[in-house]
Amino acid sequence: MPRKGKNYTDRLRGPKGECELCHRTKPLTEHHLIPRAVHRKNYFVKNFTKEDMTHRRISICRACHKGIHRLIPDEKELARDYNTKEKLLADERIRRHVEWVAKQR
């Protein structure tokens, strides 16, 4: 099995804090609202500043993070249509997932 880089498990655990979506206190991960995979695509270079692309992030728990990427696996779609916390929560599927996660331990 290939290694995912130095300190991979530490990055998964992250610092504990309040998830910006479900508000549980859990180890947090950084969700790039404009995924790094699209930073060089022409559409994003033209429509977003470099600052926007690198600093638009939210700190969320692993369950919320996995749910977002499972429900919207296309990174271009994520970057184009869900590039703010408000836009993420406006999606019925994500909102229902976050409500479900909030009830978990």
Tens place of pLDDT per residue across the chain (105 aa):
445 555 455 555 678 999 999 999 999 999 999 988 888 899 988 988 888 888 889 999 999 999 999 999 999 999 999 999 999 999 999 999 999 999 998
* Distance between CA atoms of residues 56 and 36, nearest Å: 11
60: Cα within 13 Å, side-chain hemisphere: 22
For residue 67, the surrounding DSSP H or E stretch is: helix 62-71
Indicate whether this model's pTM tops 0.85: no
Domain ranges of the chain: 15-102
**pLDDT at position 4:** 55
Beta strands in 39-101 (DSSP E): 57-61
**pLDDT at position 1:** 45
